Amino acid sequence: MKIDVVTIFPQMFQGPFQESMVKRAVDRGLVEIRLVNLRDFAPGKHRQVDDAPYGGGKGMIFKPEPLFRAVEALKEQSGGRPRVILMSPRGRLFNQDLARELAAQEHLIFLCGHYEGVDERVRLALVDDEISIGDYILTGGELAAMVVIDAVVRLQPGLLDEEAVQEESFNSGLLEYPQYTRPPVYRGLEVPPVLLSGNHGEIARWRRRQALKLTWERRRDLLKKANLLAEDRAYLEQLEKENQG
């Protein structure tokens, strides 16, 4: 997979992309990431990428010319049909399903907005998708792009153990169950005995119920889309009754 990030702050990505899973994916040749400085595509001595909005208003807007030139240059180098993504608060909300969708692409181009946004002609003519990571305000699209790229990269085949990936939060449609490690008792807090029993069937049952309980307590909206068994539904009904009682 190829990932291009168009930004006026490429240095922001140096730390996060040189650590952990992203670095491992790059080192293994599973992902190629290029940081593209938008100012390299801006004309003039000062490499200006922004200007005041027509109609008045506070803040500055990214000009269309540098973004068009950057994306067109990257597409020409690619030879394929990359998917162009604008990180935007008015985009569709990022989730694990979207992460899997993007992970299946061969080439992604991320546009990191800043200031008050980008010229609307960029959205209309260049962008295939707008993505938001949540209903809050960030200074720019860089941090949001990092989040999306991290989630997408870790899904690349050959990077992580497939079984471990499938057990993670949201892949099952539920929040992940609690995890414990040694020692069995720490400051009076004990590991649940079932995890020390060696009974894999009971351990799996406990973990499933813990995942259901946590999701029921904290993210009931996820239960509407989760693939629930009859046993799961019976347990959730039990939780409802206990809560009412």
| Separation of alpha carbons 225 and 178, rounded Å | 21
Identity at 4, one-letter amino acid code: D
Amino acid 103: pLDDT? 98
Residue 74 DSSP label: H
pLDDT of residue 168: 59
Q: Give residue 166's pLDDT.
A: 60
Q: Which domains does the chain have, with CATH numbers?
A: 2-160 (3.40.1280.10), 167-244 (1.10.1270.20)
Has this prediction a pTM greater than 0.75? yes
pLDDT of residue 172: 78
pLDDT at position 21, please?
Answer: 94
Q: What is the number of H-type helices and E-type strands within the chain?
A: 10, 9
Q: Please answer whether residues 90 and 116 qualify as being in contact, where contact means their C-beta atoms are separated by less than 8 angstroms.
A: no
Q: Average pLDDT of each block of 10 consecutive residues along the chain (245 residues)? A: 97 94 96 98 92 93 97 92 95 96 98 92 97 95 98 95 62 89 97 97 97 96 94 97 89
Sign of the CA dihedral running 116, 121, 127, 130: positive
Most distant CA atoms of the chain, gap in Å:
72
DSSP state of 80: S
- Strand 61-62 vs strand 50-51: parallel, antiparallel, or unpaired? antiparallel
Contact 152, 99 (CB under 8 A): yes
